């Protein structure tokens, strides 16, 4: 289905029948992607006495509880409420859902005992001047990202200067295939989160960060139309399903 959508006062022609899903599915397994030292998610039927909410156990419907953490168990989108003492909800932050986005691929560079994504890597990758969303794919880009156990791995991170650079480009929505834009163990400084949101100087309440995506190799670097879908949780973060569409004629 070919359609034309308007985002940021521009018209984009896309084929809705060819979505490019860059989210990681959540499964009730230890093979589910995991970060932040938590147990695996659970999906299990409700039990009430002898009644079990499962058709194969005699119930008329499958009726499951789901126990998970949006930050540690898969693709999620967060607002500044993730780092503030006052409550801010992603459901009230994200009100538009289509954005012109650029996909870039970067190779994190070594720095002492870490690997970093710095300003130079971004300048090399970013070519668009009017995108509102930036999608960062890191190399190596193996299928192992779909079930990687990230705790205690000291994953690569975005430097404070690089996060500031992204903000100064006018990018409101940052998506990355890592558990956090910040260093795993940084003593709670969260320098890149704060730099991107410009917190607390002139906080960008409209801006979001999406982490733990997976951008397949078949998705080439360049511009796309992003549909950033969230569940309507009144929480600082929600599980999310970012979907890309090729821009026809671009």
In 92-215, which ranges are E strands?
98-106, 109-111, 114-117, 133-138, 157-158, 173-176, 208-211
Cβ atoms of 88 and 81 closer than 8 Å:
yes
Residue (of 75, 51, 78, 73) closest to 62 by Cα position: 51
The average pLDDT across 64-89 equals 98
pLDDT of residue 4: 85
Domains in the chain, ordered, with CATH?
Answer: 2-24+74-246 (3.50.30.50)
Concatenated DSSP letters of 58-121: T-SS--EEEE--TTTSS-EEE-GGGS-SS---HHHH----EEEEEEEEE-PEEETTEEEE-HHH
The average pLDDT across 205-219 equals 98
pLDDT of residue 176: 99
Distance of CA 125 to the CA centre of its chain: 19
pLDDT in tens, 2-32: 888 777 778 889 999 999 999 999 999 999 9
d(CA 80, CA 73): 19
The average pLDDT across 118-129 equals 96
Give the pair of three-digit tokens for residue 35: 């970060």
pLDDT of residue 122: 98
Residue 112 predicted with pLDDT over 80: yes
Give the pair of three-digit tokens for residue 48: 């009430």
pLDDT of residue 11: 87
Q: What is the DSSP letter of 38?
A: -
| Between residues 10 and 123, the one the model is more confident about | 123
pLDDT of residue 9: 77
The average pLDDT across 104-114 equals 97
pLDDT of residue 53: 98
pLDDT in tens, 166-179: 999 999 999 999 99
pLDDT in tens, 234-244: 999 999 999 99
Q: Which residues pair with 228 in a beta bridge?
A: 242
Residue 227 predicted with pLDDT over 80: yes
Which residue shows structure tokens 């430097």? 159
Binning pLDDT at 50, 70 and 90, where does residue 143 land?
very high
125 three-state secondary structure:
helix
In the chain, the percentage of residues whose pLDDT exceeds 70 is 99
Which residue shows structure tokens 């779909």? 146
In the chain, the percentage of residues whose pLDDT exceeds 90 is 94
Q: How many CB atoms are located within 10 Å of the residue 202 CB?
A: 7
- pTM exceeding the 0.95 threshold for the entire prediction: yes
Residue (of 173, 176, 79, 80) closest to 121 by Cα position: 176
Average pLDDT of the chain is 96
The average pLDDT across 37-63 equals 97
């Amino acid at each position: 289905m070919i359609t034309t959508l308007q985002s940021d006062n521009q018209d984009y022609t896309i084929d809705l029948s060819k979505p490019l899903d860059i989210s990681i599915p959540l499964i009730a397994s230890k093979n589910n992607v995991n970060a932040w030292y938590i147990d695996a998610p659970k999906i299990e039927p409700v039990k009430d006495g002898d009644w079990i909410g499962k058709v194969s156990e005699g119930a008329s419907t499958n009726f499951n509880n789901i126990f998970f953490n949006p930050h540690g168990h898969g693709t999620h989108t967060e607002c500044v409420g993730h780092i503030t003492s006052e409550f801010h909800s992603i459901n009230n932050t994200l009100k538009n859902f289509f954005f012109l986005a650029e996909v870039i691929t970067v190779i994190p560079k070594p720095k002492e005992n870490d690997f970093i994504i710095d300003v130079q890597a971004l300048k090399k990758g970013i070519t668009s001047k009017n995108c509102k969303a930036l999608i960062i794919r890191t190399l190596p880009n193996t299928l192992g990202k779909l079930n990687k156990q990230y705790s205690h791995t000291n994953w690569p991170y975005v430097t404070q200067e690089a996060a500031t650079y992204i903000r100064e480009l006018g990018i409101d929505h940052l998506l990355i295939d890592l558990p956090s834009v910040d260093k795993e163990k940084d003593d709670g400084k969260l320098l890149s989160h704060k730099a991107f949101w410009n917190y607390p100087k002139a906080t960008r309440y409209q801006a979001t960060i999406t982490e733990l995506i997976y951008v397949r190799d078949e998705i080439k670097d360049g511009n796309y139309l992003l549909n950033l879908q969230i569940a309507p949780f009144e929480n600082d973060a929600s599980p999310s399903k970012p979907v890309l569409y090729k821009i026809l004629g671009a």
